[in-house]
Structure 1
Amino acid sequence: MEKSNGLRVIMFPLPLQGCLNPMIQLAKILHSRGFSITVIHTRFNAPKASSHPLFTFLEIPDGLSEAEEKNPDVNLTITLLNQRCVSPFRDTLTKLLQPADSETEGAKERITCLIDDTQWIFTQSLAKSLNLPRLVVSASNVSFFLGHFSIPQLRPLTYLPLQDSEKDDPVEEFPPLRKKDIYRLLDGESETLDALLNLIYKTTKASSGLIFVSCSEELDHDALIQARQDFQVPIFAIGPSHNRFTASSTSLLAPDETCIPWLDKQEDKSVIYVSFGSVATIKESELLEVAWGLRNSEQPFLWVVRVGAVVGAEWIEAIPEELMERLKEKGKVVKWAPQQDVLKHRAIGGYLSHNGWNSTAESISEGVPMICLPFVWDQMLNARFVCEKWMVGLHLENRIERNEIDRAIRCLLLEAEGEAIRERMKLLKEKVGASLEENGSAYRSLEDLVDQIKSF
């Protein structure tokens, strides 16, 4: 850490795994540049304070019941949090901003700004009333952030039957998605989302700046140009930011550390890593298709199956004992993994991924080609980028079938097409890595962000 600059930043992460990780990464970056960090967080999905002893953590009540915490409707959860956190957050922030009593507290660091998630929509008016600059963080890539504001106008499309001949038609309002992606993206998404998006757009435009923690010019150049035109606020693309620090625990789940000794015993670039992230769920029948696909490929694998990821099951008890014994011959199944350490490992040759943006950016940073099986939200767009724009992966197109999984794994690890994909991924890794080096685009953007925060 640089010498303290006497400035403190207040950070307020949204309590979802995919949003919490980038916020804590940003906190570590700013702390390394001399800023003191206070993290205000909800009781729901509270970050592990003991993993970050140099930060100050303040918990506020969020008013969610146990049933509401388990509700799979993420948009409803975000809406409820925005309603119920107003008073406790205002009280906590106001107290922090009170002048220090010099006789009892000594000199107090100056709070320079609030940094929170774009989806915290109540905080903009509060920050303005307190004369506190507010910067917002997006955990997605820039193209998805821009495109997802078109969802309300695209929603009527999903009320019409989609003909087979139309499935692969591009969606001009939301490139590079196809019509079949839009139908999947909006399937199950409540119209609560439309009102939320309108408020996110307005409060982002009213903010003092927009930060993309895991994206850079090299990954989404054209969308950044468009975003600067649309929002007319400073935009900082400083990522993939996880590369600036060794991995540390921001996971809400405990990783199985036996992964690494197991990988140590495998040959270079021989293992397919399989993980569908912290949100996606699959049916028991789909679990079995993945299991058979991995076994039939006859390639070593490390498979993460999160507790609760299989609908109606505790874990993997639906896999018959005989198949489980055959899986153990080639692979390892765990409940959670230290993903950054896994992707860095020399033994990993490919990643069968749900394509959440954090996972996609981490895979690119380590040069690991992907097999794409997106489930929800921005994952559909990320998979299109991986397979069609950067051409560093294979797309399963929602086919959770043993033969398709077997074919894709063999292609990626053993065939000439897979080798060509690996070479393109190597070049993309180098390009993105260079952006973090001195005078690279992400490096310069971070310098601009630091200067901006100091100027408040």
Structure 2
Amino acid sequence: MENQGMQRRPHVVLVPAPLQGHLSPMLELGTLLHSKGFSIIIAHTIFNSPDPCNHPEFSFLPIPDNLGDQTAAAANLMTLIITMNNNCEAPLTEILAEFMKRNDQHDQICCIIYDMIMYVSGAVADKLQLPCMILRTSAASAAAAYEHLPRLNAEGYFPLQDSKLQDLVPGLHPLRLKDFATADMGNIKDIIEISAITNNTRNASALIWNTVDHLEHTALALVQQAYPVKFFPIGPIHKMAPPSSTSLLQADSNCMAWLDKQAPHSVIYVSIGSIAIMEEKELAEIAWGLANSSQPFLWVVRPGSVRGSEWIELLPEGFKETVGERGCIVKWTPQRKVLAHVAVGGFWSHCGWNSALESISEGVPMICRPCFADQNINARYLSEFWKVGLHMDGQLDRVKIATTIKRLIMDKEGLEIRQNANAMKEKTKLSVAKGGSSYSSLNELAKLILSNQLPK
């Protein structure tokens, strides 16, 4: 039984989306808010549920989602988002209402913070008359770009024509029309509709951004014009929070011993994230591209990420013998530790926003190879605007791969990109340090939640 004299912590409910790039920053936000004196409740789907053992300081409330064996493959991402929200509204309302009923007025929920793609949480907060905020786990630059979709559609830019793919988008330098990857997300009307739903801030009192002001000051200012709510850029969240396990997949730490044997800045680290799928032909081109680059490489091949294969049984004949000890292939890595290792000279990335921030935070230059959705926009900004990477565009082939790796690791061009990445790293360090923009923004966020002045 709780001591009478013990001060009660105000409860904050966090509703993460069950995708790795969304789950990690939400759990880390929970750790940050817990350090500020809040009691954290994670209301999560059963699909891709986090492990409570990794966060004993949190309370966990599973939401019956009725998703069955449905997976978060890129091909059905839109369907997953819509189905998940439709299925979760009633049970989320019920479990939170039951929690509020069990606790007295001094032990109530002071705020719900939900991931933007768990948008039904806003309606739940409205029903329960609770204040709410939204966590944006994507880049502000991507949010600003998608705000223009209705205008571009009205002006006849969609459906995209092959002859226009390389054209720059008016008012959105450096984006090209092809960077709006609509084909993998459904038709343009569906995308505009789901964007309007996920971007709805009608019930929210604030937007929390996993980004850094120095990186996206202009984009944040543009998006602020569209959303008349308070903004709190507190990223990179993983650099603000103490280390914890938020991965849905088991990392193979043996790769760290392999990295210890490699020369500084020599290794190309390859990972396409937790969702993307590749074809056997792409696997072969990547394999021979890595082999022909003559650079050591650490390659993440996620089980099930090669269509028709359980793991690496479809690697081309003779590949392993050719690369020998120069290559290390694993199922998953402790990515942040890998990127912080002195041996890593470049990161071939799918350009998910979490991975981009992790690379920038460690000053690691990138090979940008986006797979779907906002990754295309991220890749363009990383390579053409922030100039911390090379955009490997078009169809994959082994010659292009080997050439791009050599450009990044060996050439003068790569040295300049590394210098840009290191400059970004130092600015980011200052942002999360005491007195920095992200540090201050987090403190302001905590004060606002505690103020009891949030609209309901």
Is the pair's TM-score, using the shorter chain for normalization, greater than 0.5? yes
| Alignment-mate amino acid for residue 252 of structure 2 | D
Counterparts of 1:45 and 1:22, CA distance in 2: 15
**Equivalent of 1:432 in 423, 428, 433:** 428
Aligned residues of 2:352 and 2:378 also touching (Cα < 8 A)? yes
Counterparts of 1:80 and 1:410, CA distance in 2: 44
Aligned residues of 1:357 and 1:382 also touching (Cα < 8 A)? yes
SS of corresponding position for 1:64: coil
**Alignment pair present for 1:64 and 2:62:** no
**Equivalent of 1:74 in 70, 73, 77:** 77
**Alignment pair present for 1:37 and 2:40:** yes
Aligned residues of 2:382 and 2:389 also touching (Cα < 8 A)? yes
Counterparts of 1:247 and 1:293, CA distance in 2: 34
SS of corresponding position for 1:248: coil
Counterparts of 1:63 and 1:69, CA distance in 2: 14
**Equivalent of 1:423 in 405, 419, 441:** 419
Deviation of 1:67 after TM superposition, in Å, equals 4.4
Counterparts of 2:194 and 2:385, CA distance in 1: 30
Aligned residues of 2:273 and 2:352 also touching (Cα < 8 A)? yes
SS of corresponding position for 1:186: coil
SS of corresponding position for 2:318: helix
Instruction: Check 1:307–1:410 CA distance in 2 against 1; reply closer, same or farther (3 A cut).
Output: same
Counterparts of 1:185 and 1:133, CA distance in 2: 33
**Equivalent of 1:168 in 142, 166, 169:** 166
| Alignment-mate amino acid for residue 64 of structure 1 | L
Deviation of 1:160 after TM superposition, in Å, equals 5.0
Counterparts of 1:420 and 1:160, CA distance in 2: 34
Counterparts of 1:8 and 1:314, CA distance in 2: 43
Find the counterpart in structure 2 of residue 151 from structure 1. Answer: 149
**Equivalent of 1:114 in 109, 112, 115:** 112
**Alignment pair present for 1:97 and 2:100:** yes
Aligned residues of 1:115 and 1:136 also touching (Cα < 8 A)? yes
Q: Return 5+ residue gaps in structure 2 as ranges.
A: 1-5
Find the counterpart in structure 2 of residue 104 from structure 1. Answer: none
Instruction: Check 1:129–1:17 CA distance in 2 against 1; reply closer, same or farther (3 A cut).
Output: same
TM-score (norm 2): 0.93
Counterparts of 2:286 and 2:362, CA distance in 1: 24
Counterparts of 1:33 and 1:83, CA distance in 2: 33
Deviation of 1:4 after TM superposition, in Å, equals 6.8
Find the counterpart in structure 2 of residue 18 from structure 1. Answer: 21
Counterparts of 2:120 and 2:36, CA distance in 1: 29
**Equivalent of 2:265 in 245, 269, 272:** 269
| Alignment-mate amino acid for residue 302 of structure 2 | R
Counterparts of 1:225 and 1:160, CA distance in 2: 28
**Equivalent of 1:408 in 404, 409, 412:** 404
% same residue: 42
TM-score (norm 1): 0.93
Counterparts of 1:452 and 1:290, CA distance in 2: 49
Counterparts of 1:262 and 1:288, CA distance in 2: 23
SS of corresponding position for 2:348: strand
Find the counterpart in structure 1 of residue 245 from structure 2. Answer: 249
Find the counterpart in structure 1 of residue 208 from structure 2. Answer: 211
Deviation of 1:251 after TM superposition, in Å, equals 1.2
Aligned residues of 1:294 and 1:301 also touching (Cα < 8 A)? yes
Q: Return 5+ residue gaps in structure 1 as ranges.
A: 102-106
Instruction: Check 1:71–1:361 CA distance in 2 against 1; reply closer, same or farther (3 A cut).
Output: closer
Counterparts of 1:178 and 1:205, CA distance in 2: 31
Instruction: Check 1:377–1:174 CA distance in 2 against 1; reply closer, same or farther (3 A cut).
Output: farther
> What are the residue-to-residue correspondences of 1:183-262 with 2, within 5 Å?
184-190=181-187, 191-202=189-200, 204-213=201-210, 215-262=211-258
Deviation of 1:70 after TM superposition, in Å, equals 6.2
| Alignment-mate amino acid for residue 281 of structure 1 | I
Instruction: Check 1:70–1:340 CA distance in 2 against 1; reply closer, same or farther (3 A cut).
Output: closer
Aligned residues of 2:52 and 2:60 also touching (Cα < 8 A)? yes
**Cα displacement string for residues 265-317 of structure 1 (whole angstroms, at most 9, x for unaligned residues):** 11111111000001111111111111011111111110001111112222221
Aligned residues of 2:144 and 2:219 also touching (Cα < 8 A)? yes
RMSD of aligned Cα (Å): 2.0
Higher mean Cα deviation, 31-40 or 363-372?
Answer: 31-40
| Alignment-mate amino acid for residue 55 of structure 1 | F
> What are the residue-to-residue correspondences of 1:328-347 with 2, within 5 Å?
328-347=324-343
Aligned residues of 2:113 and 2:133 also touching (Cα < 8 A)? yes
Deviation of 1:175 after TM superposition, in Å, equals 4.4
SS of corresponding position for 2:276: coil
Counterparts of 1:250 and 1:373, CA distance in 2: 24
Higher mean Cα deviation, 312-321 or 136-145?
Answer: 312-321
| Alignment-mate amino acid for residue 271 of structure 1 | V
SS of corresponding position for 1:327: helix
**Equivalent of 1:177 in 175, 178, 181:** 175
**Equivalent of 1:53 in 49, 52, 56:** 56
SS of corresponding position for 1:251: coil
Aligned residues of 2:42 and 2:61 also touching (Cα < 8 A)? yes
Aligned residues of 1:411 and 1:418 also touching (Cα < 8 A)? yes
| Alignment-mate amino acid for residue 33 of structure 1 | K
Deviation of 1:394 after TM superposition, in Å, equals 0.9
**Equivalent of 1:128 in 126, 129, 132:** 126
